[in-house]
Amino acid sequence: MEMYFSKLCVRKDASPKELSQFSHKDGYKLHQWVWSLFPEDKEAKRDFLFHRFETPASPVPFGYFVVSRRPPQRAGDLWELSVKPYAPKLETGAMLKFSLRANVTIKSPHRDRAKTQGKREDLLMYKKHQWRTEQETKPEAEREPFPQRRMEQELGLGWLAQKGEANGFHLEAKASKVLAYRQEIFYGKAKQPVRYSYFDFDGALAVTDPQKFEQCLFTGIGKAKGFGCGLLMVAPR
């Protein structure tokens, strides 16, 4: 499968007004803009992943990495675009460092299957709700606050380790961490609120199945890929 890796950097002389149209909080508009980079094809399905990177102290405050089956062609005057073939050389046992923004969810475990069938829930928020429910059964003096930071690490890394088993890699948990957890909201076509969350990961992994891992690099991990989640960025360790 022929793939492409692209980097889009905003012009160093871009004005604040020009930059404002690329708010990372508006997931729908951002997704539409990434679509516009490719040749028009009304029958094409989404065949790309993208990730926003930020460098606040740099003259280039942010940009995007894109992995796609088709090479981007129309970036516009605001952007500097570089494109190259993406054919990573992978071997079993290879140690790589990685970064990842992922939508960490689970299948809805609620009792009302008719209403929640096919839906997914934010894993951290589900566990937080469970925690609060359990605490309410205790005397008020014995109740404990939800250990947010610890649970971010435990749940996030546990989820990613499971994903690794199915995607050809072993997570080096002691060398990996959750950098941040965020919730976002924007309004789609029908002006209805769309909510999603993501974890930012950084760490190390070992390749266990090169073929599965290559597919993972090309197709991503988790949900919300249309909002900039799922692209696993790797480099030699």
Q: List the domain boundaries for the chain.
A: 4-85, 95-236
The reported pTM is: 0.88
CATH number for domain 4-85, candidates 3.30.70.2740, 1.10.287.3510, 3.30.70.1200, 3.40.50.1580: 3.30.70.1200
Residue 204 gets the label, from left (phi > 0), alpha (psi -120 to 50) or beta, of: beta
Say what the pLDDT of residue 118 is: 58
- In angstroms, rounded to a whole number, what is the distance separating the alpha carbons of residues 170 and 92? 11
Q: What are phi and psi of 179, to 5 degrees?
A: -85, -35
Contacts of 225 (CB under 8 A, 6+ apart): 46, 49, 231
Rounded percentage of the chain residues whose pLDDT exceeds 70: 89
Nearest CA to 160 out of 131, 112, 191, 123 is that of 123
b/e 204-237 (16+ beta carbons within 10 angstroms → b): bbbbbbbebbbebbbbbbbbbbbbbbbbbbbeee
| Cα angle, residue 84 at apex, residues 232 and 15 outer, rounded to 5° | 80
pLDDT of residue 206: 98
Tokens 């589900």 map to which residue? 126
**CATH code for residues 95-236:** 3.30.70.1210
pLDDT digits (tens, 9 = 90+) for 123-179: 999 999 999 999 999 999 999 999 999 999 999 999 999 999 999 999 999 999 999
